[in-house]
Amino acid sequence: MVITKGESVLQYLKGLWLILRGKANGIFYFSNSIIKLRQSFWLAVWLFPIYFYTMYKLQIAAVGSTGNLIAFIIIQISSYVIYWCAYPVVVERLIGYWHRQQYYSTYIIMYNYLKGVQILLVALLLYGASNIDMHEYFFMTANLLIVLITVVTEWNIVRFGLKLGGIMPLIFLFLDGFIGLFITSLAGALLARII
């Protein structure tokens, strides 16, 4: 049976849903091939317009302006590309210490699809908040729910994908959070200079 790209995405979403619910068999929906690993990074390309829309809306809501639009676009593209590449590179080095290199492709594919889902959910929430009369508490609750879903799923991805238990998933969550915070802070500092 030939699986189309659409079926693959649905497969991956089903796998993530199972992983979120703590079911280890969710990893069987993901390939362990280098080709699929490379293809998973195309998500970054397809999702960039949605990410950019989200960052644009957040910038306008926070400051009221993007300042120099060209500089804003360059900063957003740079931080986005760095974020999608930095974590997989660091993880590739890190998992060597635990002899988990054979699980790397599956883990990063799951991670990339989780980040893609997170970008989509946040964009939908912001779109809803800006186009529907959404109560502030509903917005905050929905945003917290997205964060919780992402954290729980990412925790389980480390447990099932890299076969690491105990507090090891916490190390990967902190690493992801640190890299994301560092890139966001750097981008924020650069954006502050152009406004």
pLDDT digit string, tens, across residues 72-113: 888 889 999 999 999 999 999 999 888 999 999 999 999 999
pLDDT of residue 62: 74
Q: Does 9 or 25 have the greater pLDDT score?
A: 25
- Contacts within 8 Å (CB) and 24+ apart, 90-96: 90/175, 90/179, 91/172, 91/175, 94/175, 95/162
For the residues 164-172, what does the mean pLDDT come to? 92
- Lowest mean per-residue pLDDT among 2-16, 26-40, 59-73, 78-92: 2-16
Q: pTM surpassing 0.75?
A: yes
User: Burial code of 48-60, b = ≥16 C-beta within 10 A, e = fewer?
Assistant: bebbbebbbeebe
For the residues 155-159, what does the mean pLDDT come to? 96
Least Cα distance to 34 among 132, 102, 117 occurs for 102
**Confidence class of residue 6 from pLDDT cuts 50, 70 and 90?**
low
pLDDT of residue 2: 37
